[in-house]
Amino acid sequence: MVKDGLLITFEGMEGSGKTTQIQRLSAVLSQAGYAVCVTREPGGTPISEEIRGIFLNPNHNEMESTTELLLIAAARAQHVSEVILPALDGGKIVISDRYSDATVVYQGYRCGLDLNLIHKLNRIAAHGLSPERTFVLDLPVEIGLKRVQQRRSAMNRLDLEDFESHNRIREAYLAIASQEPDRITIIDAEANVDSIHELIKSEVDDLLRTKGVERKL
Ligand code: TMP
């Protein structure tokens, strides 16, 4: 599937600073004349945002792992076909706050669901679309959780899980990054916000040059 645009994703545990870095990258790319689409998972469309509400509702303690996986897959199928593919067809740089790696980490490593099944479902839900580059913002669990507690007005269902679960998530991101070093870049999220931005920007600049993505303005 050849597309004109480019899909870049951000991953990492809660409190890792993804949102700030996505905003900074989006601003600098827009200023440089690129058409940018910022989106998130689960979410990004009205249907997928409704699914997000069900998925993250802190009252849904009884949610089963398989239910999680199918909700996420449904949200992604809608998101990819309604938002991501049309944006890529239009030559946009799509920046998604989480994507299919999160399913491998959260529903695979965290819940213990079969990784082959997850990869298969990811391919179906994502219409075979993989990110060109993924930035994983990594930091110690205790620091991430402290940031979340300070920032969020209400904790969501996954924020409220125990330390062990969050630690499994961190380790899983590091593991999948080591399996795909050409696509996934690990970033030290404890570093200064400006220096993280510069690092991401320079990798994205290289990528845009290599892929020949055109400026729109
Ligand atoms: P966030 O917007 O703070 O990143 O919250 C989204 C939550 O959803 C986060 O805890 C990770 C979780 N999630 C999954 O469990 N599986 C997935 O495939 C995705 C995209 C997110």
Q: Nearest to residue 103, comparing CAs of 115, 95, 90?
A: 115
Is the pLDDT assigned to residue 149 strictly greater than 90? no
Residues with CB under 6 A from ligand 1: 14, 40-42, 72, 98, 102-103, 106-107, 158
Would you say 121 and 66 are in contact if contact means Cβ atoms under 8 Å apart? no
Q: Nearest to residue 29, comparing CAs of 133, 127, 100, 101?
A: 133
| Residue 151: predicted pLDDT | 81
50-59, 83-92, 139-148: which range is least confident on average?
Answer: 139-148
| Residue 217: predicted pLDDT | 67
Which one has a higher pLDDT value, 161 or 44? 44
Which one has a higher pLDDT value, 147 or 68? 68
Average pLDDT, the chain: 95
Ligand 1 centroid distance, CA of 112 (Å):
16
Ligand 1 centroid distance, CA of 42 (Å):
6
For residue 40, the surrounding DSSP H or E stretch is strand 36-40
> Which residues face 93 on adjacent strands?
6, 36
Is the pLDDT assigned to residue 2 strictly greater than 50? no
Would you say 41 and 99 are in contact if contact means Cβ atoms under 8 Å apart? yes
Would you say 209 and 33 are in contact if contact means Cβ atoms under 8 Å apart? no
pLDDT band of 1, cuts 50, 70, 90:
very low
Residue pLDDT, tens place only, 49-68: 999 999 999 999 999 999 99
In the Cβ-directed half-sphere of 93, how many Cα atoms lie within 13 Å? 27
> Which residues face 10 on adjacent strands?
97, 135
Q: Give the mean model confidence (pLDDT) for residues 5-22.
A: 95
| Residue 106: predicted pLDDT | 97
Ligand 1 centroid distance, CA of 163 (Å):
16
> Among 158, 168, 169, which is best to mutate for testing ligand 1, by the most ligand atoms less than 8 A from CB?
158
